Amino acid sequence: MNARVKGFAFTAFAVTLAAGPVSADDSFGKDLMATIALQGKPCDQVVDAKRNGDSDYVATCKDGHRYHVYVNAQGRVVVEKL
């Protein structure tokens, strides 16, 4: 994946993170799923997402995978498998 696509995905995710409450059924769940996929992690559908703080979420996928998704101090989106 080229840097331009990754930059766009980061921008879309960062804007979405500021949007407010999390509902896995809405477009935020889809944005979270796309962010996870862009990091090369498997996630067929986000069924639950918990907000831990600003730009900090735990997403649970339908296939059972769980991820910590956040923006680090350098401003990069990080996806860590839990």
Q: What confidence score (pLDDT) does residue 79 get? A: 96
Q: What confidence score (pLDDT) does residue 68 get? A: 96
Range of the domain at 75: 3-81
Q: What confidence score (pLDDT) does residue 23 get? A: 52
Number of folded domains that form the chain: 1
pTM: 0.70
The encoded tokens of residue 64 equal 């059972």
The torsion region of residue 36 among left (phi > 0), alpha (psi -120 to 50) and beta comes to alpha
Q: What confidence score (pLDDT) does residue 54 get? A: 86
Which parts of the chain have pLDDT scores under 50?
A: 1-8, 11, 15-21, 24
CA distances from 59 to 43, 45, 46 (A): 10, 10, 6
Q: What confidence score (pLDDT) does residue 53 get? A: 87
